[in-house]
Amino acid sequence: MRPYQVATAAAIVLIAAVAMFDSRAAFSPSAGTSPGDVGSRWYPFWAATIMGIAAVIVAYRVLTTLQPVEGAFEGRRSVFAVLKIAVPMLAYAVLIGGIGFRTTDFTYRIVPAFGFYLATALYMGLFAWWLGRYKIWWVAAIAVAFPIVIFGVFELGFRVALPKSFLYTSGILPF
């Protein structure tokens, strides 16, 4: 557990250092708009400083006291169990908006925006097929039913406009 604890504390120290650097104007004599005001950088600077010091103390305690021998995960199985959820979730979030980049004149799309409903159909279907090992018609039913129910509840019921797909912009699908 020790290397993981130290790495976590180091990451916190790094965040603190970046924030302290950004707030280095805290000690500028012109800080603040009125007499007595400490300015906009003072508060984040000291918050970052306290955070950094606390993380250093945590790391020191971890290095100088007994720590559990086992690692952060209980074997490969537990790592894969987390990755099975985390990786499709990241892919799902990326698929909703698509991948691309923008110049001053154009927006280039590497992966088109699948929008919320198409991405949800793929995501729910993937889980039903992969982890649930359902038969293909059940997978299809789950992939179709969930987006439709969500469309009914959120889009029609609560009037929440969720991101639409490239098929919506070309007029093929209603979402």
Partner 1 sequence: MEVFGQLAGGFATALQPINVAMLFVAVVLGLVIGVLPGLGGTSGVAILLPITVFIAHGSLPGSDATTAIIFLAGIYWGALFGGVITSILFNIPGEPWAVVLLFDGFPLAKRLGKPGLALSSSFVSSFLGALVSTILFTFFALPIALKALEFGPAELFAVFVLSFATLIGLGAEAPMKSVAMLALGLLLAAVGFDTVTGEQRLNFGQTALLSGISFVPVTIGLFGIGEILASAEEQGIGFVENISAKLGLRDVVEALRELRKRLRLVLSNAIIGFFFGVLPGHGATAASFLGYGLARQYSKNKENFGKGEISGIMGPQAAADAAGVASLVPMITLGIPGSPTSAVIMAGLFIWGLQPGPVLFIQHPDFVWGLIASIYLGHLLTFILCLLAVPLLAMIMRVPYAIITPFIVVISIIGSYSLNNSMLDVFITVLFGLIGYWLRKMKYPLAPLVVALVLGDSTERELRKALIAGHGSPLYFFNSGLSTVLILFAVVLVAIPLIRTIRARRRGAAPPPAPAHS
58 near partner 1, judged by CB under 8 A? yes
118 near partner 1, judged by CB under 8 A? no
Direct distance between the N- and C-terminal alpha carbons of the chain, in angstroms, rounded to an integer: 47
Task: Choose one: 58-66, 104-112, 167-175; the region binding partner 1 (CB under 8 A).
Answer: 58-66
158 near partner 1, judged by CB under 8 A? yes
State which residue, 61 or 174, has the beta carbon closest to partner 1.
61
DSSP 107: E
4 near partner 1, judged by CB under 8 A? yes
148 near partner 1, judged by CB under 8 A? no
State which residue, 74 or 169, has the beta carbon closest to partner 1.
74
- The C-alpha atoms of residue 21 and residue 19 are separated, in whole angstroms, by 5
Instruction: Report how far apart, in Å, the C-alpha atoms of 29 and of each of 36, 41, 104, 158 are.
Output: 11, 12, 40, 51
Handedness of CA 59, 64, 67, 70 (dihedral sign): positive
Q: Which amino acid is at 82?
A: V
In the region spanning residues 25 to 54, those forming contacts with partner 1, defined by CB under 8 A, are: 32-41, 43-44, 47-48, 50-51, 54
State which residue, 28 or 174, has the beta carbon closest to partner 1.
28
Using CB under 8 A, pick the residue from 10, 27, 28, 84 that binds partner 1. 84
User: By the 8 A CB rule, do 25 and 39 touch?
Assistant: yes
